[in-house]
Amino acid sequence: MLDVLRNDALGKLILRLAVGGLILLHGIAKLLDPSTLGWIENLLANHGLPSWLAYGVLIGEVLAPVMAILGWRTRLAGLLMAGNMLVAVILVHTGELFRLGDSGGWALELQGMFLFSALALVFLGSGRMAMRPD
């Protein structure tokens, strides 16, 4: 019975679909509401960074999640998503880094889950159930 539950390829597929699908929804929301990119451009400019870097969020929240979902260059996709989340934490959520949320958990649970799940993809790769297994 336990051998049925030992399926690394299925586990990697579930991880890819979960992290890729959930981050992709954030990217689609940014595509549907262009004012969000303007907000990110202003945020970057306020930190002394070029505002055109805001379009990098589309790489981290649209392109990379699609790559992960398909299982194409999954390690690179995970790295792009993790980098995107790291930048988001640094630019937007630094003040919450050591705070508890309203429900008693970490204030950055969602961001942390995305960051560490994407990092897991970097180390695990796509598995056999992928467009291009690695």
Q: Give 10-residue mean pLDDT values along the chain (134 residues).
A: 84 98 97 94 94 95 98 98 96 88 88 97 96 80
Is residue 129 included in any domain, yes or no?
A: no
- Helix segments in the chain, DSSP class H: 8-32, 35-46, 56-58, 64-70, 74-92, 109-124
Q: How many domains does the chain have?
A: 1
* Residue ranges making up the domain that contains 12: 8-124
Q: Which of 110, 134, 111, 113 is nearest to 122 (CA)?
A: 134
Q: How far apart are CA 134 and CA 126, in angstroms?
A: 6
**What pLDDT, on a 0 to 100 scale, did the predictor assign at position 10?**
95
Is residue 3 included in any domain, yes or no?
A: no
Residue 8, φ and ψ in degrees, nearest 5: -60, -40
**What pLDDT, on a 0 to 100 scale, did the predictor assign at position 5?**
84
Is residue 131 included in any domain, yes or no?
A: no
Taking the mean position of all CA atoms in its chain, how far away is CA 53? 17
**What pLDDT, on a 0 to 100 scale, did the predictor assign at position 1?**
61
The token duo for 133 is 């297994």
Is residue 133 included in any domain, yes or no?
A: no
**What pLDDT, on a 0 to 100 scale, did the predictor assign at position 97?**
87
Is residue 107 included in any domain, yes or no?
A: yes
Taking the complete model, does pTM exceed 0.85, yes or no? yes
Residue whose entry in the numeric block shows the structure tokens 């260059």: 73
